[in-house]
Amino acid sequence: MNRTSEPLQAYLWINMAKLSARAFSRYSREAALLLGQLIRLARIEKHMTVEDLAQRAGISRGLVHRIERGDLGCSIGAVFEASAIVGVRLFDAEPSTLAARISANATTITLLPQAVRSAPAQVKDDF
């Protein structure tokens, strides 16, 4: 191995370890891929370059590429920001109704218990 390939090998080894550290469900992988494709399609339809989107979102071009490939290791904030910039809606609700839905959910959450505990184990005392 020559000197120039050593950093590349180390980079690939570290990133491959990250990828295999967490297994995601098929549904999660397909959902991330679909969202990435929608972001890419919207970006291209708006005639935005990867550089334009990266600059507006405050992220790197590489992260934009990872988002568009459906990489599940991307920050959710970066994915949400990229989708908002290109106009991909994440929920069925209109943007104007999101605040109302957030408020309704907050009210429901306040009515729920603060913590969820598993049921106590049944003691078998029939000797």
Domain boundaries, the chain: 24-111
Q: How far apart are CA 43 and CA 46, in angstroms?
A: 5
Do residues 50 and 91 make contact, with C-beta atoms less than 8 angstroms apart? no
Report pLDDT digits (tens) over 72-99.
999 999 999 999 999 999 887 777 788 8
- Encoded tokens for 77: 């904030």
Q: How far apart are CA 5 and CA 21, in angstroms?
A: 24
- Quote the percentage of the chain above a pLDDT of 90: 57
Report pLDDT digits (tens) over 23-56.
899 999 999 999 999 999 999 999 999 999 999 9
Fold of 24-111: 434 Repressor (Amino-terminal Domain) (1.10.260)
Cα 23 from chain centre: 14
Helix 61-69 vs helix 50-57: crossing angle, to nearest 10: 110
